[in-house]
Every structure is written in structure tokens, then in C-alpha cells.
Structure 1
Amino acid sequence: MTTSIFAQLKPISYQDGSQKLKGFVAAPAKGNKGGILILPAWKGIDESSKAVAAKLSALGYYAFIADIYGEGNYPADTKAAGKLSSYYKTNYTIYQQRINLAWKELIRAGANPDKIVVIGYCFGGTGALEAARANLPVKGVVSFHGGLGKDPSRAVSAIKPSILVCHGADDPNVPQAQVQAFQQEMRDSKADWQMIYYSNAVHAFTDKSAGNDNSKGAAYNATADKRSWQHFLLFLEEVLR
């Protein structure tokens, strides 16, 4: 991707205690439809998340890409990414705190606090659901091929934000038992939720760098990518109207 595509992205420094964080904000090209908080996949802020922010800016939204790990902690490879993301999944209150701080930066950038949606990819998709479980004051959350599970010992409480889960029908990283437990959690929490399955799609189906070999468990799927984006836009129209 060329640098010009990301020209409107501006780095934003913020902190969680002594931990320095650096996110990116994109102001709407025209108008102001609301704000979208973007939670990146397990390797942290990447070109994919920046491309999403640029697209949303062009559509009239404020977009902020959250820095979950913080300066000095960015993973160098998948092994490190797996270890770090697992830490935040286990220590979910710390994950929720980092998301909350990024939400504040999105508002500080100019987004209407009454018109905000959180979206996330893979590990970030898990984060979007954690934002809903924490009842972050947003209109909705969207998980793209994210993990759905949580510790079963955690209490289930009412969830206020609307939820959209875009899920690969053949994703081997999310076993059926986890899917069933998530759906039961949604029922028990009285959430307004929907879950859409995409055929022939595995994990990371929106990530063009994931290759196209489904047997590896993670692969790009152009059809699922396009359909999930359209479902996301419909969701935005509904919850931000």
C-alpha cells in the first residue's frame, strides 16, 4: 500500500499509567457520521487496520486505531503475538482498560460520544466482545473472525451494546463448543446480537496477507471479506441512525 493511502492518519500518543501508547486517528473526509474504534489483530497496528481506518474516514467517520500492547511491547513474530494476546485474553480487565482509553482518544479527536461503534479483527474481535461485556458506552461492537470464548466462571450480566459477529463457517480456531457457549451467553445477557457465517471461510478471512490455503486454518477469502464489510455497513446504518 502506498503512503498516500494513509496520509490522513495521524499518530496520537496517550498513556496507561507509565505505559506509553501510540494509536492513529483519521478524521472524516466530509461530514461526520460517528466514530469507529478499531482493535487490531494479534500483531498490533498493521497495514490492514490502517487501511480500514482510511476507508472509514472516506465514508465520513472518525476512526481511531487502538494501541493495545504499548511502546516497547510490539511482538516481532507470531510466537510473541500469541503469548501477548493470550495475556490480554486472560487478563481481560486490562484489555478492557486499554480499549476504554482508546475510546476516550476517539472522542477527544472529535467523534460524537453518542455515535460510536467498536470493531476488531481476530484478537481485536475478541476485544470488541470484551468492550460489550464491559458495557463500554457505545452503540455497538463488531467482531470479524474473532475469538468468542471467555472464562466460564465469569458472571454473565446484561449487555447493552448491539453485537455483530462475522464468522468463518470453517474457522478451526473457534470450536463449536465455544460457538455454542457464546450464543448461550448472548441469550443469558439479553443482548441484541447477530452472528453471520461465511461459507468456505476460515480464520483471518479479511486479511489479504493470510494467503489462500484454507488447510492452514487462516486464509483470505475475497467473498467473505466483501460480504462481511457490507454487513458491517448495514449494522452501522442501523445502530448509528
Structure 2
Amino acid sequence: MTTITTHTVEYPADGLTMVGRLALPAGAGRAPAVLIGPEGPGLNDFQRGRADALAELGYVALAFDINGGRWFSDPQEMLAHTTPLLADPDRMREIGHAALDVLRAEPRTDPDRIAAIGYGTGGAIALELGRDGVDLRAIATVNGLITGRPGEAARIRCPVWAGVGSEDPIMSPAHREAFTAEMQDAGVDWRLVVYGGALHAFHHPDVAQDVLPGVGHHPVHARRAWDDVVALLAECLPLPVTT
């Protein structure tokens, strides 16, 4: 296995001290980089592990924070925090830009080759960075099909991939239709994968069925969705060929 280096990084955003996970690939040169945004409860070992997995592939990866180091185990407390956040594109952009600044400041990062991926709320933040005109090479959102303010999707400058479960009541067919209409009307290079039989947060191995109605893990589709995200990065943010 490739040797990687990981660091805990603290930085200010949204009036909080965020606590992220920075993972660096082996070697000393610059590498393409990926932001990884967590779902509403916060950053936990799942997304930290995603950062590590991307570093093992050869990317600089930052799993960023949205809750000031907290993980909301109470779903009502989580909703009280994330619902107003998801309704405020400027707040989401502030959180995303703060993380992006940390990633760009890392000497190993190639600042011209950055992608943003995210789950739920983190995916919505990745999309808002695109709508804000950030020069990204790719955007991926799993379970985060949040439409933006009218006309702003035209500022997205890269391919967008989205994944959602067919039985997800939170990201309903109406959400899917609104999202795809927004992307299509803006002329974005977009794709949507609907994973049959999957619920909301199907990607997360530790999610419990009783957290919220319509939430549950689907191990097969979780693996497929990760493979699809990695394939998007390989297409849009290819790693240097080593010999």
C-alpha cells in the first residue's frame, strides 16, 4: 500500500473553528487535489477515510468540516443546523471557500487542478462553489441534489456528476427533476445516476435505519457510487502516469 501522510487542520469558517482531515500522497511533488464535503451530521471517520483513499490513489485530499468539529447524533439537532444552511447559498459558499483556501495553501496541491465532491450537505456546498464560478475540474454530489439561485448554474465550468437512491424520499423525484432541469438549462456537462432500491445516505456504512425515515445503507450501491466518483476524477482530474 502506498504510504500517505495525514494531518488534522483547523481553520475558521461560518463563525466556527472547523476541523478537517488533510491527506497527502506519497512523494514530494505537486498533485491534483480533491475537496470532500460531509453530510449534515458532520465530518467523521467515513469521510476521513475517503480522503485517505484518494491520497492512496495519488491525490491531495481535504475532508472538510461543516459543524465546527461536531458530529450531530441527534437528527433533530442536525436538521436544526443544516436546514438553514442549505437555504443560504452564501453561507455554503463561505464554508466551501474556506476549505478551498486550506487546500490551495498546501504546497503539495496543484492549484490549477482541483475537484470538489461531497455527500448530502457537503455535495450541496460543492455545487455552490461551482455556481460561484470557482475553477474546478469536476464536481460530484451524492444525495445532495440542491438547486441554486436562478441563472447561477451557468457559471459552473466543469462536468457535474450526481448520484441518488431511487427510494430516497429526501432527494425525491421532484428534486431530481429540478436539479437536472437546472443543469440542462445552464448548458452544464452533467450526468445523474439513480441507484435502484437505495435510500437516502445509502453510501454511509454506519448509518442506522432509524436515524430518519427513508435513510439506510446499501453496501452494493455504496461501492458503485464510490467507483463512479473515482472514475469521474480519473476522467477529469487524471493523475500523472508513473513508470
Match of 2:241 in 1: none
* 1:163–1:192 Cα contact (<8 Å) kept: yes
| 1:180–1:108 CA distance, 2 compared to 1 (3 A) | same
Q: CA RMSD of the aligned region, Å?
A: 2.3
Contact 2:35 2:100 in 1 (8 A): yes
Equivalent pairs, count? 231
Partner of 1:148: 146
Q: Secondary structure at the match of 1:9?
A: strand
Name the SS for the 2:206 alignment partner: helix
Is 1:108 matched up with 2:102?
A: no
How far off is 1:90 after superposition?
A: 1.2
| Aligned amino acid, residue 39 of structure 2 | A
CA distance in structure 1 between the partners assigned to 2:204 and 2:14 by the alignment? 32
Residue in structure 1 matched with residue 90 of structure 2 by the alignment = 93
Which residue of structure 1 aligns with residue 188 of structure 2? Answer: 191
User: Residues of 2 paired with 1:18 and 1:205: CA distance?
Assistant: 31
Tell me whether 1:60 sits opposite 2:28 in the alignment: no
2:145·2:176 contact (CA, 8 Å) conserved in 1?
A: no
Matches within 5 A, 1:124-143: 124-143=122-141
TM-score for the superposition, normalised by structure 1: 0.87
Q: How does 1:72-91 map to 2 (within 5 A)?
A: 75=72, 77-91=74-88
CA distance in 2, matches of 1:218, 1:17: 27
Aligned equivalent of 1:4: none
Structure 2 residue identity aligned to 1:99: G
Whole-angstrom CA distance in 2 between matches of 1:117 and 1:225: 20
Which residue does the alignment assign to 1:232? 229
Identity of aligned residues (%): 26
* Contact 1:135/1:161 (<8 A) preserved: no
User: By how many angstroms is 1:177 displaced?
Assistant: 1.7
Q: 1:84-123 deviations in whole A, cap 9, x for unaligned?
A: 1112111210111110110111111221111111111122
Q: Distance in 2 between matches of 1:76 and 1:204?
A: 14
Rounded to whole Å, the distance in 2 between the matches of 1:43 and 1:17 is 16
**Structure 1 residues 17 and 147, CA gap change in structure 2 (3 angstroms):** closer
1:138 CA displacement: 1.0
User: Take 2:127 and 2:15, find their aligned partners in 1: how far apart are those partners?
Assistant: 26
Worse overlay, 21-30 or 228-237: 21-30
In structure 1, what residue type is equivalent to 2:173?
Q
Give the letter for the 2:52 counterpart.
A
Q: Which residue of 2 aligns with 1:36?
A: 34
Give the partner amino acid of 2:67.
Y
The whole-number CA distance in structure 2 between the counterparts of 1:218 and 1:99 is 25
TM-score (norm 2): 0.86
Alignment partner of 1:122 out of 110, 120, 136: 120
| Residue identity in the other structure for 2:186 | S
Q: Partners of 1:221 and 1:29 in 2: how far apart?
A: 32
Counterpart-to-counterpart distance in 1, 2:189 and 2:195:
20
Runs of 5+ unmatched residues, structure 2: 239-243
Alignment of 1:166-181 (within 5 A): 166-181=163-178
**2:205 corresponds to which of 199, 204, 208:** 208
Distance 1:76 1:204, change over 3 A: closer
Q: For 1:209 and 1:76, locate their aligned partners in 2 and report how far apart those are by CA, in whole Å.
A: 12
- Flag as ranges the 4+ runs of structure 1 deviating above 6 A: none
Label 1:76 to 1:185 Cα distance change in 2 as closer, same or farther (>3 A): same
Return the alpha-carbon distance in structure 2 between the equivalents of residues 239 and 49 of structure 1: 21
Question: Contact 2:33–2:61 (CA<8 Å) still a contact in 1?
Answer: yes
How far off its partner does 1:16 sit?
Answer: 3.4
